[in-house]
Amino acid sequence: MNVLFSVVIILLIIILGVQTRSIVLPVLMMFTILLSYTASLGFGWFIFKKVMGYDAISYRLPVYTFVFMVALGIDYNIILVSRIRELAKEMPWREAVGKAVAKTGGVIASAGLILAATFAVLMTQPLEELFLFGFTMALGILLTTFVIAAVFLPSVLILTRKKQ
């Protein structure tokens, strides 16, 4: 797991660096994605343990969740950051962030709701592992969509840089 996670993170930071032509942006984007991943696992485990009474989860759940959460988080971040950079050519950075969130928010929210519902369907399957995976993914996607992409990433971008 450690090797997989490390290789994926490093490769994606490099790919994001090439796409954004920046050093700081890929690191910030990956940070928000990893924050979303760990938060969804943490909240999920809390609910599994305290509410549902599970004593353990499969070792595969964190791996599967990592792969999907990172892929989906990167998509949403690229959509938002690309729009911000495009608008920042015409207006101040702070204003570009606000307009980009307003312009891409509907698309990201719609995609997030549809995807969360799609993963939530796995909760109807008779296998416990699919239930846990579907629940964790739906929770993580909603967190990524409505907290990370809508609030946290734009805030971090405004606070860390005036112009990227």
Q: Classify residue 142: in a domain, yes or no.
A: yes
Q: Classify residue 112: in a domain, yes or no.
A: yes
pTM (predicted TM-score): 0.87
Q: Classify residue 23: in a domain, yes or no.
A: no
- Work out how many domains the chain is built from and give that number: 1
CA max distance for the chain: 54
Burial class from Cβ neighbours inside 10 Å (0-12, 13-18, 19+) for residue 33 reads buried
Q: Classify residue 79: in a domain, yes or no.
A: yes
Angle formed by the axes of helices 60-88 and 24-46, nearest 10°: 140
Q: What is the pLDDT of residues 4-60, one digit of tens each?
A: 999 999 999 999 999 888 888 999 999 999 999 999 999 999 999 999 988 888 889
Q: Classify residue 119: in a domain, yes or no.
A: yes
Query: Using an 8 Å Cβ cutoff, are 59 and 68 in contact?
Result: no
Query: Using an 8 Å Cβ cutoff, are 108 and 79 in contact?
Result: yes
Q: What is the pLDDT of residues 85-102, one digit of tens each?
A: 999 999 998 999 999 999
Helix (H, G, I), strand (E, B) or coil at 161: coil
Q: Classify residue 21: in a domain, yes or no.
A: no
- Domain assignment of residue 83, given as a range: 32-160
Helix, strand, coil percentages (3-state) for the chain, rounded to 5, are: 85, 0, 15
Cα-flanking dihedrals φ and ψ of residue 132, to 5°? -65, -40
